[in-house]
Copies of this chain bind each other. A is one copy, B any other.
Amino acid sequence: MHNLHLALIHHPVLNKNGRTITSAVTNLDLHDISRLARTYGVGSFSVVTPLLDQRQLVGNLIGHWTRGAGATYNPKRKQALEAIAVRETLEEVITGLSAGIAATAGPVTVATSARRHDRSIGHDRLRQMLRDSENRPWVLMFGTAWGLADSVLEQADYILAPIRGHADYNHLSVRSAAAIILDRLTHNDPLP
């Protein structure tokens, strides 16, 4: 899954009242999603926030686990967290992935959402597209707080269908959603 790149977005996202905000970074998002990213061998994991102090905070956290006392205490955590890239905007993520690539082979963006949209596509279809265009970078965008703002959804090349269980409840954490989606996009069950 080296052509799949994760972006955890803190702006623009929605608050519970549907207003566009910048959310605060949650430490455990970085731990859980970086470990996922490493387990599933994705190309990169970017944490996106326009707030300088939040980017510094993420930098300090990464420093603790990759160079500080944490690196000795838990080397597996180091391996995961050292792969995090800190970015100011989604455009910066995309520009970074576009370097040295022809415009026609540039990044394809996929927004995740807890709601179903007219143009939502299924996980199996995305999985197939990822395999069919292995040479293009794909950016899978996750919204924090109450999800990605409409502007991100509208500009995305694709919107992934929500995860639904079998109950009338669909309020997973972004950590859980990222885990399930990555697994659906890559899962093989080798044991009988």
Contacts and interface: CB of A to CB of B under 8 A. Distances in A.
Contact of A163 (B165, B183, B192): B183
Contact-residue size bin, chain A (C-beta under 8 Å from the other chain): 35 or more
Interface of A: 1, 16, 28, 31-32, 35-36, 38-41, 74, 76-77, 79-80, 120-125, 161, 163-167, 169-173, 175-177, 179-180, 182-184, 186-187, 189-192
Copies per complex of this chain? 2
A173 B28 CA distance: 10
B180 A122 contact: no
Nearest to A187: B184
A176 B40 contact: no
Contacts of A120: 191
